[in-house]
Structure 1
């Protein structure tokens, strides 16, 4: 039976046509205070090298500014340039570049260099940005950030192809610009960050972009409806509906003992949720969003307990290989093409690395 949202949108659900699913890693949020920034980078390097050896698809690198939540990822291009020479096949993707904060030519220059250095292993994900403080880098772009993002992605694609684009220059003059060095790949593969908005999924489909998303306040059933919207939009735009890639971020910890997994992830995951919640509340307060207020301690603890239980049971890759496979199967049934495994959310680094062979077993089941 169609869900009420499907009926409202007039979109028929699709049976996923792909029998395979890709696996990648995502680095996003390390908020540990008991290790140095250097150790965080070394952990990221070790996981990336594991992914490169074991046939994972990509590593996703975020852009974060002016907050302890993700602060080690201030420049994803620099992070990629550190990892590229230590790898041979893994792809480097952003999740994503906050486009309104940057000139399009700057984005292409930085990532064309990395495309050359990696032998053509760069893809780019883009977002409009959300943290109020980030826009000290581009104060005039905050209010129209979504429109700015939508306008600049095609310009980035043009520059990547080697086309000349005219920009405002000094003294009121316009200047046609072509970007060098030229990247290895003639076309740029684009991901768009879409958290909740149905219209965001529709827009990404219409533009022919891939999608990076997360279970932010909803479940896989609701995600399936949004993926149906995305596929339908691609089809209406004259594109092959199933060629678009939908990447889903999932917090990940797979091991032989489910009790050990819960013991390893519970407190770090709650701290992660708390840090994320504070960042979003602060952004809402800074932007003067109505009803954005600090939570009381009791309310916060209640919310953390609920969020942990919901995500741990229905929105994460936690548990044994068998338990993980059940979640992967559900994601595939929803139309997901790739899972980006988030492992730097506060769990002890050694525990994460010791558990990676179990994740490898899970991934092997889908090859």
Structure 2
């Protein structure tokens, strides 16, 4: 099984320069330790993920700071952008990294994000599918038709040309049958998580994906998990507990804000928040010592998972995260290859 790292910090903070320094230091450490990939998200207008408005921009910085690690968007919200721009930006990152790029596409869910394209929100799934197909075609060197500022219709292709001829593509899924089918039918890889799934429903989603997959090459299933490794499981959970609780609270704040509830009017069911917090700590994460995390990874491998995208920046102190990445890499070297 391959192990990569994923960023999705819940607090942009006052010193974004320091935060980006830390992102790049972690990416360099993961690269030197032999981890498979670094995933960079897209999020807008909120402190939950607010460091990451454009994964291609930060991906370019990671590209010139590392040597071998895969650089992946996790995810690009395709309905928000013209595929021409997505292809241009990621072609630059692919050239800078000598072919280490991969992109997971998502349709988005927050109405606030669609301030960037309000007319596309209602039809975001259809728009997302169309944009994804255009992105793949542009990456291969094909052209798309567009209307220019003076009213002409022209055929446009992308420059610079990417380093690799075919774009490694994932579809981001919460586990819904529709999104799993979209990934499988399109021959794309699958990026999913345990936010809305338990291991049983994850297994069903992976099985459905394998059954319906129509790609030329074997599809890959990647699963995002909150991750913090320490030498002792109890100590790992003590260290991660408060940051994880704050992270989950921030996620709920974003969800309520997306549905029009101002922060000053937001209410939380503390009992449900505590249940969710304990679920992540005990059953839906890689938070523990190497033996505990190996057992979780073996369960995932049995379900057909090929890779774990380890979300490492949910609030644990930076030096502890660096140490955890080292332990994660050591564990990864003990695992059977994917």
1:55 aligns with 2:34: yes
1:71-90 matched pairs, under 5 angstroms: 71-90=50-69
Q: Find 1:166's aligned residue among 130, 145, 152.
A: 145
Q: Is the 8 A contact 1:268 1:347 kept in 2?
A: yes
**Inter-partner Cα distance in structure 2 for 1:355 and 1:230:** 31
1:29 aligns with 2:9: yes
Q: Find 2:94's aligned residue among 78, 96, 115.
A: 115
**Inter-partner Cα distance in structure 2 for 1:84 and 1:209:** 23
- 2:258 maps to 283
TM-score by length of 2: 0.94
Q: Find 1:308's aligned residue among 254, 277, 296.
A: 277
C-alpha change, 1:68 and 1:296, in structure 2 (3 Å) is: closer
For residue 238 of structure 1, report the CA deviation from its aligned partner: 6.7
For residue 98 of structure 1, report the CA deviation from its aligned partner: 0.7
- 2:186 maps to 207
Secondary structure of 2:45's match? coil
Q: Find 1:345's aligned residue among 302, 310, 314.
A: 314
Q: Is the 8 A contact 1:99 1:128 kept in 2?
A: yes
For residue 364 of structure 1, report the CA deviation from its aligned partner: 1.6
- 1:270 maps to 245
C-alpha change, 1:260 and 1:191, in structure 2 (3 Å) is: same
Q: Is the 8 A contact 2:243 2:315 kept in 1?
A: yes
For residue 135 of structure 1, report the CA deviation from its aligned partner: 1.1
Secondary structure of 1:73's match? coil
**Inter-partner Cα distance in structure 1 for 2:31 and 2:324:** 17
Where structure 2 has 5 or more consecutive residues not aligned to the other structure, the ranges are none
Give deviations 1:274-323, integer Å, cap 9, x for gaps: 1111111222347xxxxxxx7645x2x21221001111111100111000
1:176 aligns with 2:155: yes
CA RMSD of aligned residues (A): 1.6
Q: Find 2:167's aligned residue among 188, 194, 197.
A: 188
**Inter-partner Cα distance in structure 2 for 1:255 and 1:78:** 32
C-alpha change, 1:151 and 1:197, in structure 2 (3 Å) is: same
Give deviations 1:21-64, integer Å, cap 9, x for gaps: 1110001133264x622222122111111111121111000011
- 2:327 maps to 358
C-alpha change, 1:308 and 1:214, in structure 2 (3 Å) is: same
**Inter-partner Cα distance in structure 2 for 1:170 and 1:351:** 52
For residue 86 of structure 1, report the CA deviation from its aligned partner: 1.2
Q: Find 1:325's aligned residue among 267, 283, 294.
A: 294
Q: Is the 8 A contact 2:223 2:308 kept in 1?
A: yes
Q: Find 2:76's aligned residue among 97, 101, 122.
A: 97
For residue 361 of structure 1, report the CA deviation from its aligned partner: 2.4
Give deviations 1:99-149, integer Å, cap 9, x for gaps: 111111111111111111111111111111111111111111111001100
Secondary structure of 2:228's match? strand
**Inter-partner Cα distance in structure 2 for 1:142 and 1:29:** 25
Q: Tell me the matched-pair count.
A: 333
